[in-house]
Amino acid sequence: MATFLILGGTGKVGRRLAARATGLGHTAHVASRSAQGTRFDWDDTTTYAPALDGVDAVFVVGPGSASDWTGQLNQFLDRAADAGVKRAVLLSARGVEFLPDGVVGLVERTFTDGPVPGTILRPTHFAQNFTEAMFTPRNGVILAPAGTAPHPFVDVSDIADVAAHVLADGGHDGEAIALSGPEALTFHEVAAVLQATSGVPVRYEPEDRDAHIRRLRDAGTPETYITWRMAMLDGIADGRDSYVSDGTQRALGRSANTFQRWARAEAAR
């Protein structure tokens, strides 16, 4: 059994990964800036070495896509190599090609060029974004500039399963694994599924792109994050991000969870 350091361990993917890892008999050090668990702060390099002590593999989640953190990543990977870390997995995003010189693209290249053998996970937008994040219905309305093209939303539990497998067993060093759901759904179809499974009226209302940007700016969102977010949303709206990826099947030998199955389980919680 191995010891994993899970950065972003309290996030959507991290907390599920910690549960998967411990369920498989591994030790999971859940890292965050709080005093609970393993303390880790990207902006405090003195937290790097203590967090890496005794660790076999690392799940890397950055501080966000609003600013360039490749300098911190370089230092962290050097410390990880010095500590004897055997493997790293980076949580990135499918669609990085829509903004190749953005923060996420720079981070991927830094990770690949680093001293620790690693694997990049590139998931599509999460199914959980409709319950825990940006696409959550407000007053029964999903408001987003996502057009009418379909997108294969991925269940975060599948990302966690793939991450646990790669961290423990390796075999994917140097790869970028794209993860998606097994079918692409439009936002109108997503709303229908959420309504059918929850019994609560839900509808999708396409938002004007410029209005969405104004809303983000009014909320004080950094421009670099707005640029990244809009590149990803544009990829949905114009259909470039509608294709299905088979990363879950290739990594785990099973199909990815469907949006319908995820929604039923979510409604039953």
Residues 6 or more apart whose CB falls under 8 angstroms from that of 133 comprise 12, 126
Decide: 7 and 58 in contact? Cβ < 8 Å. yes
pLDDT bin (cut points 50, 70, 90) of residue 35 is low
Domain count, the chain: 1
CATH of the domain at 26: 3.40.50.720
The whole-angstrom distance between residue 92's C-alpha and the CA centroid of its chain comes to: 6
Strand partners, 32: 39
Residue 49's domain comprises: 3-268
pTM of the model: 0.95
Residues 6 or more apart whose CB falls under 8 angstroms from that of 93 comprise 104, 122, 123, 232
Nearest CA-CA partner of 150 in 118, 126, 183: 183
Q: Could you give the 3-state DSSP secondary structure of residue 73?
A: helix
**Residues 61-75: what's their mean pLDDT?**
93
Query: Count of CB atoms within 10 A of residue 138's CB?
Result: 7
Q: Could you give the 3-state DSSP secondary structure of residue 211?
A: helix
What pLDDT digit, counting tens, does each position of 175-233 carry? 999 999 999 999 999 999 999 999 999 999 999 999 999 999 999 999 999 999 999 99
